[in-house]
Amino acid sequence: MRPNEFRRLYQIIQVQLNYGLDELLPLHSFSRGPHCLRKMCFWLKNEHKEKMQGERLKLALQHLGPVWIKFGQMLSTRRDLFSPEIADQLAFLQDQVEPFDGVLAKAKMEEALGGPLETWFDDFNLTPLASASIAQVHTAKLKENGREVVLKVIRPDILPVIQADIKLMYRMARIVARFLPETRRLKPLEVVREYEKTLLDELDLMREAANAIQLRRNFENDHILYVPEVFCDYCKTSLMVSERIYGIQISDIVSLKANGTNLKLLAERGVQVFFTQVFRDSFFHADMHPGNVFIGHDSPEDPHWIALDCGIIGTLNREDKRYLAENFLAFFNRDYRKVAELHVDSGWVPHDTNVADFEFAIRTVCEPIFEKPLCEISFGHVLLNLFSTARHFHMEVQPQLVLLQKTLLYVEGLGRQLYPQLDLWDTAKPFLEDWISHQIGPKALLDTIKKNAPFWAEKLPELPDLLYDNLRQGRLINVRMDEMYTHFMRARKQHNRGKFLLGVGATLMVSSAILYGNQIEDVAHFTGAMALSSWFLAWRLFNQ
C-alpha cells in the first residue's frame, strides 16, 4: 500500500473512532473488527460523546467527503432499517452539506462562462439555495427574459479527493478478492469500477444536462413526472443552468399533508414512474433520494413528481429487462420454480445449478414473508433474502443491475414514507403484465413488423440481386467442394500408395539381409537397391 493510500486509510479509521462510530455497532461477530480497532488505536478517543448518534454519523460522513456522503444519502432512505433519529440526521446529507464560499462559487462560474455573470444573469444570490456532496446551487434570473433559474457548479478541487478514495477502494477490493476467494463471485473490482464511473459522470455537468433533456422528453406527454428545462447555451462541464422550480420536498410529509396532497396516489405514482423509466424507456433516474425529488403543490389531488439532479442515469438492455420483468411476476405469483429457472437461464447463477434445490431454497426463504399482508412486505427485504440465498448457489453480482437495485430501494423507501400501507406489488403487477404482453404474442409480432417495415421496404428492390448473388455463391461453393473432394481423394490414393511402397521396401530389405547372410551377395545387393528405391518413391508420394 502506497504512503498516501495508507494515510487515507488511517484518516478513515481516525474519523470513525473520533466520532465514536464503533459504538453504534452491536457486539456481534460482524462488528468485532471496529471494536478491535478501538483497542489497537487506544490514543484515538471519542471526541463527540455529547452529540447524538445520528449527528455523529452525519458529521463523520461529511468529514470523509463525497464518496461517503453518497453512501449516507442512500442509507437515509431506508427508514425501515434505522431509527428516526439516525434517518433524520442522514437526510441532511441530501442537500444540506456544508457549503463552500459563494464568492468562490461565482468565480468558478465566471471562469466556466468566460466573463462576468452580470453579462447573462441578474439577481445572482451568493447564498446557496442547496449544497450537496458534488455540487452547489445558486439562484439568479436570465437577463434576456427574466426567467428564474438555478446555477449548479461543481465543488472546487473535488476530483483529487474522489480519486484518492476510489484508489483505496480498488486496493481493498483486490486484497479481498485475493485473500477471500469466496468473495470473487461478488465481483468487488467490477462493483468499485461501476461506482467510480457513477461518481466521475456526476462531475460532468454537460452529461447531466443531456440526461435531463432526454428524461424531460420521455415524459413530455405524461404528467406524472416533471423535469425542469435546461438552458444549454450556458451549460459547461463544471456549470449547468436550468429552470427554477417551486415545490414541496418529498420528505416534508407535514407540508404535503397541509397542502392536501393525495399521499396514496403520490406513492403509487412513484412506483409507476420507476417502472415506466425502466421498462418503457430503458433510461431511469438512478439517484432519487429525497433531496432530488419534489412534489408540485399546484394540484394536490393530482400530484406529480419533480426530478432534479440527473447526474446518475441507469440503462438496461432488452434481455435484462425481460428477465427482470419475468422474475418480478414470478415473485408476485409465488412461482419459485420459474424464479430459479430464470436465474439459471440468465446466467446469474451457474448453468449446472440444481434447479430443484435452488427452488426449494427460495421457497424456504420467501414463503414465511408472503404470509404477511402484501402491504407489509418490503420488496427490498425480499431481494436481500433472495440474494443471500442465491449466494449459496454461487450467484455473481450483476454490475449493470446495481443502480437498478439502489433505485428500487429508494423508491420503496420514499413510497412507504409517504404512505406506509403502500402495496408495491399491487401497483407494479398490472404494469409488468401489460409490458410482458407487449413483448410476446401476436401484438408483439405485429409491433416488430411495423417497426422493421421501413427497413424491409428499403431492401425489397435489392432482393432479386441478393437472391441471385446467394445462388451464385452457392454454385461457387459447390464447385469448390467438388474440387476439394477430388483433391482429397487424390491425396488419399497417394497416401495409400506410399504406405504400400514402404511395406514393399521393408520386405525387400529383410530379404536382402537373409540373402546376404546366405552369401548370395549379388542378389542381396540388387534386393537392397530395390528396397531403397521403394522407400524413395514413398517419400516422394508423401511430400507431394
Please give the full DSSP string across 506-535, using - where no structure is assigned: HHHHHHHHHHHHTT-HHHHHHHHHHHHHHH
Helix, strand and coil percent figures for the chain, each rounded to 5:
65, 10, 25
Average per-residue pLDDT for the chain? 77
Average the pLDDT over 268-278 and give the result: 89
**How much is the pLDDT for 31?**
42
Indicate if 426 and 330 belong to the same structural domain: yes
Per-residue confidence (pLDDT) for residue 30, from 0 to 100: 39
Same domain, 402 and 508: no
Does a structural domain hold residue 39?
Answer: yes
Q: What is the pTM of this model?
A: 0.67
Q: Check whether residue 364 and residue 507 sit in a common domain.
A: no
pLDDT, greater one: 22 or 253: 253
Tell me which DSSP letter residue 227 carries: -
pLDDT for 245: 92
Is pLDDT of 182 > 80? Answer: no
**457 assigned to some structural domain:** no
Average pLDDT over residues 226-247: 94
- At residue 170, does pLDDT exceed 90? no
Quickly state the pLDDT bin for 517 (edges 50, 70, 90).
low
For residues 502 and 353, membership in a common domain is answered with: no
Q: How confident is the model at residue 29 (pLDDT cuts 50, 70, 90)?
A: very low
Residue 536 pLDDT exceeds 80 = no
* Helix axes of 379-391 and 355-370: crossing angle, nearest 10 degrees: 150
Q: Give the length of the chain.
A: 544
398 backbone dihedrals φ, ψ, rounded to 5°: -100, 100
Distance CA 132, CA 96 (A): 6
Return d(Cα 179, Cα 183) in angstroms, integer: 9
Q: What is the pLDDT of residue 211?
A: 94
Looking at the annotation, which residues are catalytic? 287
Name the DSSP letter for residue 97: S
CA proximity to 271, closest of 48, 426, 455, 92: 426
Contact call for residues 296 and 303 (beta carbons, < 8 A): yes
Long-range contacts formed by 37-44: CB under 8 A, 24+ apart? 37/13, 41/13, 41/14, 41/17, 44/13, 44/14, 44/17, 44/18
Give the domain extent around 29: 3-91
Between 55-59, 84-88, 205-209, 382-386, the lowest mean confidence (pLDDT) is in: 382-386
Cβ neighbour number for residue 506 with a 10 Å cutoff: 13
Which pLDDT does position 311 carry in this prediction? 86
Domain boundary residue among 63, 91, 119? 91
Same domain, 340 and 411: yes
Distance CA 520, CA 535 (A): 23
Of 91, 109, 136, the position where a domain reaches its end is: 91
Question: CB atoms < 10 A from the CB of 356, how many?
Answer: 10
Supply the pLDDT for residue 160. 82
Tell me the three cell numbers of residue 9.
Answer: 486509510
Contacts 24+ apart (CB under 8 A), 535-538: 535/501, 535/502, 535/505, 537/501, 538/497, 538/498, 538/499, 538/501, 538/502, 538/505
Is the pLDDT reported for residue 239 higher than 60? yes
pLDDT digits (tens, 9 = 90+) for 249-260: 988 899 999 999
Q: 513 or 529: whose pLDDT is higher? A: 529
Task: Give the pLDDT of residue 345.
Answer: 84
Say what the pLDDT of residue 168 is.
Answer: 79
Q: Which of 311-325, 425-439, 522-536 has the lowest mean pLDDT?
A: 522-536
Q: Is the domain of 471 the same as that of 424?
A: no
Residue 307 has pLDDT above 90, yes or no: yes
Q: Is 225 helix (H, G, I), strand (E, B) or coil?
A: strand
Q: Is there a single domain that holds both residue 278 and residue 406?
A: yes
Task: Of 11-15, 74-78, 85-89, 157-161, give the lowest mean pLDDT range.
Answer: 74-78
Q: Are residues 333 and 474 in the same domain?
A: no
Indicate the Cα dihedral angle 170, 198, 101, 147, nearest 10°. 180
Judge if 311 and 360 occupy the same domain: yes
176 and 153 Cβ atoms separated by less than 8 Å: no
Q: Which amino acid is at 6?
A: F
Q: Are residues 369 and 254 in the same domain?
A: yes
Residue 330 CB neighbours (<10 A) = 18
Least confident of 102-116, 168-182, 441-455, 519-533: 441-455
Q: What is the pLDDT of residues 155-169, one digit of tens each?
A: 888 888 788 888 877
| Most confidently modeled range among 20-24, 404-408, 426-430 | 426-430
Residue 27 has a pLDDT of: 44
Spell out the residues 6+ positions from residue 187 whose beta carbon is closer than 8 angstroms to its own: 396, 397, 399
In this prediction, residue 186 has a pLDDT band, given cuts at 50, 70 and 90, of low
In a domain, 10, yes or no: yes
Mean pLDDT is highest, among 73-77, 121-125, 174-178, for: 121-125
Instruction: Judge whether 162 lies within some domain.
Output: no
If one counts every other C-beta atom within 10 angstroms of the C-beta of residue 446, the result is 10
Average of per-residue pLDDT across 328-347: 84
Q: Which of 37-41, 196-200, 433-437, 456-460 has the lowest mean pLDDT?
A: 456-460
> What value does the mean pLDDT take over residues 293-308?
91
Residue 128 forms part of a structural domain: no
Of 91, 120, 155, the position where a domain reaches its end is 91
Query: In whole angstroms, what is the distance from residue 278 CA to residue 321 CA?
Result: 8
Q: Give me the mean pLDDT over the 107-123 stretch.
A: 93
pLDDT value at 281 more than 80: yes
Cα–Cα dist 358/350, whole Å: 11
Residues in a beta bridge with 307:
293
Rg of the chain (C-alpha set) = 35
- Please, which pLDDT band fits residue 74 given cuts at 50, 70 and 90? low
pLDDT of residue 180: 64
Q: How many domains does the chain have?
A: 3
Task: Write the pLDDT tens digit of every residue in 378-399.
Answer: 666 676 667 667 767 777 666 5
Give the position of cell 473512532. Answer: 17
159 belongs to a structural domain: no
Per-residue pLDDT, 4? 66
Query: 255: part of which helix (H) or strand (E)?
Result: helix 253-258
Count CB atoms within 10 A of the CB of residue 66.
22
Give yes or no: residues 313 and 419 share one domain: yes
Asked, for residue 340, whether it belongs to a domain, the answer is yes
Regarding whether 518 and 408 lie in a shared domain, the answer is no
Strand-pairing partners, residue 544, are none
Residue 98 lies in a domain: no
Please state the rounded mean pLDDT for residues 129-158. 91
pLDDT (average), residues 174-193? 69
- pLDDT band at residue 209, thresholds of 50, 70 and 90? very high
